[in-house]
A and B are shown apart, each in its own frame.
Chain A
């Protein structure tokens, strides 16, 4: 269906090759997963398939790419619209119409299809993606998961033979992600659509992949079955790390598979009780009867909670559960709240400039919102000046967090992980008493997540500080958080030690916990610790 022969790609004004001599043939009805570190060229590979690269972006392409016998060299992306459906990283950026139905019809109208065909196909796709109840809703009012489904549906109306998706679940909560992925799985099996998908959170997709293309970063690629690639890939989901740590011969990719193989281990270990870390008694953040409403829609209903010193608190919940509202209120920028939030007994709404910087550090969903200077060096200088610390402090923090960033780079040209690192060092140079992060892991690869975990753990323990982090990433929560607050529809539905909260909800349990249930182990490290203490 898709054939890459001797494909190499170089972008203009760049000295590195994105892809070098790639040969790949994808058969009909295959689901191919593209993995690699951020900035390694996953998106470029996807966009080569329908010719957006190089027709839209420029760049030099050598070799030949053909889809269903059509060469992308001769045909522009528009000419392949009936053959390839492409869903970008942020579907909201690609929407053109007001309502769901009109969005679905857009591509068919552009190709001048007759009205009866359009009617039939819109109905079909609405049913296929379970969107029928939302058909006349305005797109802007849909949740993230619903928008992702609309984007897929508006590609499916064209009856494409190939569907290309760039990180379709990165902004979704685990349940919405599950929904989207099971639909993709069904499309492959029922309609034999060929799917190419790029994703960082391998634990979500690896089970579905027929083959994996691993881009290693210097233009080289390895291609093979999930089993083959996972044998020695540095990028691997926790379940594969577990298999490696246990010395199993080949990597189990599904929870079911791994459970069978670890049956004996689970049964031979007496059921242990989770060790709970003692909590400090110094309250840092006091939230008192906090309510937030947008128009008539309530985002938070009278929430009361206290966060202590040296705690790392994860705030979880589905899209729209009120996580961001809670974080913004704690930071004191929600003007529409009732109730009070005190940080170190200061009303967080009344904080200004220097006192604010030294009390609350906040990393928004888009870390680049905080950055505005023309280079990394200027950004660091500005932070030094703002926080009245000795020149070079911010830069030394940055060098510790993410070594090897050139000072002359523009913040925009950094990778997602590096940009988050820069924003973090700007915030941390003021040494705030509380650090708040709103979904910092979007678009981060495993390596970047690992260093984020290390940084936050160090920050909390060295300075005895509280960290509050909103995230959809259960694996990160398992590694990082000592306590988890679970929000649903503006209410706190669970609040307790991470291990208790995560184990009590099957959808939000990390992979290792699913494999090892009923043993209370969340991380690979927990399993190894348990085995070691048993053999001692």
Chain B
């Protein structure tokens, strides 16, 4: 599918509209459908850029959160009566904690309530990740008001150094594999972390020096080389999001 050039705020507004609809509808089915739709949009519209991977990352993080949250929801808390699926051993708690229990019977109702809450929270995380992977942080930075620009140095450093670090990690691990070192296990992290830390510090200093010597922050006002304009397709995307929000 063709990639539509859009205003950097468009996908963020659209995503927020979807997030609000998910919260309002409060049903896991709607949340899952939204994630599916957003996923399709991301796959067809994202560019081949480092930040485009943030959708995949948020998906992974969301699945972890869902698993941990469901586990805790099932094992700790107030029992919900219903059909018992399995019974876990109960951890005895002192008398002054009535009503709270750890372990015990896991009912279908308890599992489904923990799952459905989790799915909704995770869908919200994934949709924010999708917005991040559809928008260049550099372009987003340009349309944000001037006082946000104060964070500019930090954001530019983060967005340009972090993706480079991913390639650095691969490179360092490869070099150490060649030194015949084991690249798995906890000890290997230290061996990778030290050269990596040195490199990222050196890079950040280089970048800060480069930005400084190119006049960054000298003028309070910044002009725009390519002004970013709001177009009809932007309005169309935003309206579609708002419609979903209204209908939910």
Chain A interface (Cβ < 8 Å from any Cβ of B): 47, 50, 52, 55-56, 76-82, 84, 86, 88, 90, 92-98, 101-102, 105-115, 118-119, 122, 138, 154, 158, 328, 331, 333, 352-354, 356-357, 360, 362, 364, 366, 368-372, 386, 412, 426-427, 430
- Interface-facing stretch out of B12-20, B22-30, B87-95, B188-196: B188-196
A107 contacts B215, CB within 8 Å? yes
A90 contacts B206, CB within 8 Å? yes
Kindly state whether residue B43 has any CB partner on chain A within 8 Å: no
Residue of A with least CB distance to B212: A77
Which listed residue (B176, B180, B203, B213) contacts A50, Cβ 8 A? Answer: B213
Which listed residue (A55, A95, A357) contacts B160, Cβ 8 A? Answer: A95
Smallest CB-CB A-B distances: 5 pairs: A94-B210, A81-B215, A105-B225, A369-B175, A93-B206
With the chains together, A369 CA to B198 CA distance in Å? 10
Kindly state whether residue B3 has any CB partner on chain A within 8 Å: no
With the chains together, A102 CA to B176 CA distance in Å? 37
A357 contacts B222, CB within 8 Å? no
With the chains together, A194 CA to B49 CA distance in Å? 38
With the chains together, A108 CA to B208 CA distance in Å? 17
Interface-central residue, B172, B178, B221, B225, by most chain A CB under 10 Å: B178
B221 contacts A112, CB within 8 Å? yes
With the chains together, A47 CA to B210 CA distance in Å? 11
With the chains together, A109 CA to B214 CA distance in Å? 10
Given A81-B218, A112-B219, A369-B172, A352:B180 Cβ within 8 A: yes
Minimum CB–CB distance from B146 to chain A (whole Å) comes to: 11
Jot down 10 A-B pairs with beta carbons below 8 A, ordered by A.
A81-B218, A94-B206, A94-B209, A96-B156, A107-B216, A109-B223, A352-B180, A364-B171, A370-B179, A426-B179
A118 contacts B191, CB within 8 Å? no
B213 contacts A78, CB within 8 Å? yes
A412 contacts B198, CB within 8 Å? yes
Residue of B with least CB distance to A295: B48
B175 contacts A364, CB within 8 Å? yes
Kindly state whether residue B82 has any CB partner on chain A within 8 Å: no
Residue of A with least CB distance to B215: A81
Given A115-B223, A115-B225, A333-B177, A106:B214 Cβ within 8 A: yes
With the chains together, A115 CA to B228 CA distance in Å? 13
B207 contacts A86, CB within 8 Å? no
With the chains together, A427 CA to B226 CA distance in Å? 51
A368 contacts B198, CB within 8 Å? yes
B213 contacts A102, CB within 8 Å? no
With the chains together, A119 CA to B212 CA distance in Å? 23
Residues of B near A56 (CB, < 8 A) are 205, 208-209, 212
With the chains together, A222 CA to B31 CA distance in Å? 73
B175 contacts A370, CB within 8 Å? yes
B225 contacts A102, CB within 8 Å? yes
Residue of A with least CB distance to B177: A333
Residue of B with least CB distance to A122: B225
Interface-central residue, B178, B198, B210, B213, by most chain A CB under 10 Å: B213
Residues of B near A154 (CB, < 8 A) are 214
Residues of B near A78 (CB, < 8 A) are 212-218
Residues of A near B205 (CB, < 8 A) are 56
With the chains together, A114 CA to B225 CA distance in Å? 8
B213 contacts A84, CB within 8 Å? yes
Interface-central residue, B174, B176, B192, by most chain A CB under 10 Å: B174
With the chains together, A366 CA to B203 CA distance in Å? 14
Residues of A near B175 (CB, < 8 A) are 362, 364, 366, 369-370
With the chains together, A426 CA to B179 CA distance in Å? 9
A372 contacts B178, CB within 8 Å? no
Given A93-B207, A110-B218, A102:B212 Cβ within 8 A: no
Interface-central residue, A101, A110, A118, by most chain B CB under 10 Å: A110
B191 contacts A52, CB within 8 Å? no
Kindly state whether residue B136 has any CB partner on chain A within 8 Å: yes
Given A82-B215, A96-B160, A366-B171, A353:B180 Cβ within 8 A: yes
Residue of B with least CB distance to A91: B210
B225 contacts A372, CB within 8 Å? no
With the chains together, A386 CA to B205 CA distance in Å? 34
With the chains together, A55 CA to B164 CA distance in Å? 27
Kindly state whether residue B243 has any CB partner on chain A within 8 Å: no
B212 contacts A52, CB within 8 Å? yes
Which listed residue (A90, A102, A112, A113) contacts B226, Cβ 8 A? Answer: A102
Interface-central residue, B202, B206, B217, by most chain A CB under 10 Å: B206
Kindly state whether residue B144 has any CB partner on chain A within 8 Å: no
Kindly state whether residue B2 has any CB partner on chain A within 8 Å: no
Interface-central residue, A368, A372, A426, by most chain B CB under 10 Å: A372
With the chains together, A331 CA to B176 CA distance in Å? 12
B160 contacts A110, CB within 8 Å? no
Kindly state whether residue B138 has any CB partner on chain A within 8 Å: yes
A108 contacts B223, CB within 8 Å? yes
4 more A-B contacts (CB under 8 A) besides A84-B213, A356-B180, A364-B171?
A107-B215, A112-B219, A122-B225, A369-B195
Minimum CB–CB distance from A300 to chain B (whole Å) comes to: 17
B195 contacts A372, CB within 8 Å? yes
B210 contacts A88, CB within 8 Å? yes
With the chains together, A55 CA to B225 CA distance in Å? 29
With the chains together, A110 CA to B149 CA distance in Å? 11
A114 contacts B223, CB within 8 Å? yes
A333 contacts B174, CB within 8 Å? yes
Given A102-B226, A112-B221, A360:B213 Cβ within 8 A: no
A76 contacts B212, CB within 8 Å? yes
Residue of A with least CB distance to B156: A96
B219 contacts A88, CB within 8 Å? no
A98 contacts B136, CB within 8 Å? yes
Interface-central residue, B176, B209, B216, by most chain A CB under 10 Å: B209
Interface-central residue, B160, B172, B198, B227, by most chain A CB under 10 Å: B160
Given A111-B215, A328-B174, A369-B175, A93:B210 Cβ within 8 A: yes
